Structure 1
């Protein structure tokens, strides 16, 4: 049975495009253009996940996320034009699992949605372990305890502490873009031009390392003015790393 996704977005064109794309991806999709339509849709269906805009004509998306987190056992994605760190934190504090901006490609939205759905639909107290096991064949897996990254093809690479932190915060962003200063601060370093340049070098080297050791290309993309994003489904297992949570959202994918 296909997962049911509610898209709560008042921009008619974006709502239509997103609904059509997710339907092509195999989901059952319900489009809502207001908070009232969302509540009305809940009378007939229970969503597996909900994608909320923040600024709706009759409701605040953060409030709807809190309501959903308290009332339903489903995944929550915020998809909004609000890109500031304060808004990111407000989204996660309201109960969101994923926070993306509206300039994210549809493919990235889908990529962030799929691991979220796996977490939601895996039952039982050992859901995280089961999800990690099931996702090994089609996802990247970062083991923060053993410092290894495993590709969908099964190849593994051993990471340094810095590489582990970089990949961890990128995966934790669930397909969202992180600026160079965000990542530099997560590494415990000052936000300087030199450290940002060093980050570019570190990411270039870890890309080469992962390709050499696993045979698969590391799906870390870069865009001018936006930073970096991990654009393929990924799982995280093992212990948490020590990152600066005041600057970067750290939330386990496992």
Structure 2
């Protein structure tokens, strides 16, 4: 079996079946960045083997695939696994969505989509199935992605929707450095956005977090940013 790409500790196992190489690679990267271990395939030829050996917690199925289409693969997953299933496709007709959902899919995402939305939908499916923790803890910082709430030392912290998405992305890679490009791609969906978007949101996010305790959001000069315990700071103070 091809080796899956590993994510962070506590992440889920995600199987991606998508025939478009650019889309498959983008999904794989986004899921790994979110802390999950990922096995990506261009078709369903090895699906039963992967279900048995990789034992995914969630399966992303493209509908338009060479060989067996996503609906046929959906039936196999439902027979062989209790994984959450998300259908990913350019076919957004109501009949297609209803077909996927009535046959056992947990969610249905139409192309084009923002990668941050896809990651959020996968996370929601995993939580409903009890495959990931409902909250993320970093010292005294408590992040609840499902409730879209943040508390530090028991005090609620008010964040904008964008600041919250940035924080959840960083929390999913706790202890690891993430670049501006990774944050742009995950939160805004495109690599060519102005990097100042990241700097502005990091600055305001850091200020709000530090109003209630020591620094958790660290800058690694020339590399990016890292969310980690206050006593592990190794980057510059800016």
Which TM-score bucket, shorter chain as reference?
0.5 to 0.7
The question of 1:152 aligning with 2:161 is answered no
Contact persistence 1:63–1:94 (CA under 8 A): no
Aligned partner of 2:114 in structure 1 is 105
The 5 Å alignment of 1:73-88 reads: 73-88=82-97
Q: How many angstroms apart in 2 are the aligned matches of 1:39 and 1:32?
A: 12
* Unpaired stretches in structure 2, ≥5 consecutive residues: 1-9, 152-156, 163-186, 188-238
Q: How many angstroms apart in 2 are the aligned matches of 1:14 and 1:131?
A: 28
Aligned partner of 2:39 in structure 1 is 30
Q: How many angstroms apart in 1 are the aligned matches of 2:44 and 2:111?
A: 19
Q: How many angstroms apart in 1 are the aligned matches of 2:50 and 2:158?
A: 46
**Deviation string, structure 1 residues 145-178 (Cα, Å, up to 9, x no partner):** xxxxxx5148xxxxxxxxxxxxxxxxxxxxxxxx
Q: How many angstroms apart in 2 are the aligned matches of 1:122 and 1:25?
A: 14
Q: What is the CA-CA distance between 1:68 and the residue it aligns to?
A: 1.1
- Residues paired across the two proteins, number: 144
The question of 1:10 aligning with 2:19 is answered yes
Aligned partner of 1:139 in structure 2 is 145
Aligned partner of 2:212 in structure 1 is none
Aligned partner of 1:93 in structure 2 is 102
The 5 Å alignment of 1:174-213 reads: none
Contact persistence 2:19–2:41 (CA under 8 A): yes
Aligned partner of 1:63 in structure 2 is 72
Match of 1:42 among 47, 51, 58: 51
Query: Residue 91 of structure 1 aligns to a residue in which SS?
Result: helix
Aligned partner of 1:72 in structure 2 is 81
Contact persistence 1:54–1:60 (CA under 8 A): yes
Q: What is the CA-CA distance between 1:57 and the residue it aligns to?
A: 0.5
- Cα distance 1:118–1:90, how it changes in 2: closer, same or farther (>3 A)? same
Q: How many angstroms apart in 1 are the aligned matches of 2:71 and 2:23?
A: 19
Aligned partner of 2:194 in structure 1 is none
**Deviation string, structure 1 residues 101-121 (Cα, Å, up to 9, x no partner):** 121111100011111111223
Q: How many angstroms apart in 2 are the aligned matches of 1:140 and 1:34?
A: 31
Q: How many angstroms apart in 2 are the aligned matches of 1:131 and 1:22?
A: 17
Q: How many angstroms apart in 2 are the aligned matches of 1:116 and 1:32?
A: 21
